[in-house]
Structure 1
Amino acid sequence: METSNVKKIHDFDQSIWLDFIDRKIMDSGELKMLIDDDGIRGLTSNPAIFEKAISSGSEYDEDIKKLAQEGKTNEEIFYGLAIADIQRAADLFKPVYEQEVRGADGYVSLEVSPHLARNTQGTIDQARALWKAVDRDNVMIKIPGTAEGLPAIRQCISEGININVTLLFGLERYEAVADAYISGLEDRVKADQPIDSIASVASFFLSRIDVLVDPMLEQKGETGLKGETAIALAKKAYETYKRVFASDRFRKLEEKGAKPQRLLWASTSSKNPEFSDVKYVEALIGPKTVNTIPMETLDAYRDHGQPDFRLETDLDMASQVLEKLAQAGIDLNAISQQLEDEGIEKFNKPYDKLLDAIDKQKEKSLASA
């Protein structure tokens, strides 16, 4: 059988994770098939994914009824369902986790409540609780890379919790996230704790950047730059990654077994129909990175993807794109903050919708009990 185009990406030292979870994909054996045939090496989830999974079918009804009868709150019911799914997915990915360099891949991510995005202590408390409840070495707890999230990331890393930092849109914040990760490792070393089994990724969101910036470029007559901003930022972020994790500061940690915090490309489905449906996968294939892609993008890449090293091509062009944006009066720091605020809202809405759906299902089940 010919090797899948998706699986070929792994030959370029990039890992493809699936940005999707539901019970159907596990019950049917499809997830196991994606791991075996397409070389999928991890999985990410978020409130919107769980909302769709729980609201669109009846697979969760019995568990909602059971948890409701135990007197659980709507949020407790949600996390009860999510933790069970995440544990099951983590077990499916355990053989990947144990391949090659132990802990390089095979991770499954579960996010703290999006309502905690501006709450440092609340984030720390829930990350600890989820980490303990899931109880799997190959799980990452997702924490947004907000200003309030930075100390939470550092604290959780210092406690040995694997972290997927989410909602990154800008270069300054990305570098602060890398610093929080390294600081957390240093805190752990000072406490005489091992650091050789901790893993983290920094999730840089792509297509949403172009969705916001491209209309501004059109207004300014800079149509030649359409669809270029996100990829340019990603390439510059990778330059930062290489610099930070080649530093003497990190090398001291590496000698004790620390792994670099890999960049993960997220929001990689093309939102603009004018663009290729595999645009954000093709452009950013490069070593020691991760790309998490939704099912439709994975299917498209399997059909017509053309894997090759591209992450470090045209770096001068990436710099020029960012310079031209500045010259056009587009403030990327302001853009990054706007996208972060909107991103939190985009996760809050499906999360609240999910809790509402659970509430309705809970009332129905308790009425029929």
Structure 2
Amino acid sequence: MKLRSLLAGAAFALGLTASAAFADKTKVGFVYVGPVGDGGWTYEHEQARKKVVEEFGDQIETVFVESVPDGPDSARVMTQMALEGADLIFATSFGYMDPAIEVASKFPDLKIEHATGYKTAPNVSVYSARFYEGRAIQGHIAGKMTKSNVIGYIASFPIPEVIRGINSAYIHAKKANPDVEFKVVWVSTWFNPAKEADAAKALIEQGADVILQHTDSTAPMAAAESAGNVIGFGQASDMAEYKDGPRVSSIIDNWAPYYISRVRAVIDGTWEPVNTWDGIGAGMVEIGEMTDKIPAAVQAEALAMKEQIATGTYHPFTGPLNKQDGSVWLAEGETSDDGTLAGMDFFVEGVDALIPN
């Protein structure tokens, strides 16, 4: 009887020790708008989560939920994470913005990092990347490589991030090739391979021989490969499986350094809300390997632009630039301020497309 009591006591003590060790871990949640295997946006966030785990090991516990639609579903998922002890949540879609603010107000000890949004709170940070810097480089390559002079652009939602990207790509394609024309298809989704493929096919039928995308799957790349003689660019991730086919380069979102720094801030008690918007210079936006399909001279021009953007000697939005209605936006040599870019709701002159309400 006495031995049994001793064993029971020891087991209980071990249980308390294990529980205490588990409680000491920092719990980090990730909410994803697409599946981790999308090959684009969510895939790169998941790679960053894995690097966080590599960095901190047993100091942390991470959880993630994939394919969470924008809106109320994201609030439910974040609430559940908070109830289960999350110390920090990375909410990785623009449409999670209001839900993130709502959940943060109910759990003041919870920290939330919201990707691509603009609303902050005492326990909510926002972070994004200057994707438009990469779009400028893509636009230059596209303008130089198109033979039909028609470039197709698959757009997700009419938010400033997407509008900025279209404008940046168009400006630099037009500089590289004055005869270039953009055709834009809005698909009202971040991740829907069928819709993305249909959009790519429609653009190709309209004469586009270059496809750009601001959606998350590799379906447009597959459509370009099927069409033949059509090139494309990896979006958010390298999409290197297509580098022997239509993919000539890519924009890669490198979230890991930011995620590691913010988790470390929670662990050491120094976390404060911040508003981070970094680009090529800081390494948050990377340009994927350029394939031999891009002529050597064009590669050199693209790499020179990348270096100028990284060092701050060139800004992708440098005047003279007019708005779509012909009104002056930026004078000769003038560059856009961040406030205008962050809230961009207009196309530049020459973009023959409408922005949906």
Q: Same fold (TM over 0.5)?
A: no
Q: Which has the higher helix share?
A: 1
Structure with greater Cα Rg: 2
What TM-score, normalized to structure 1?
0.27
Q: Which has the higher strand share?
A: 2
What TM-score, normalized to structure 2?
0.28
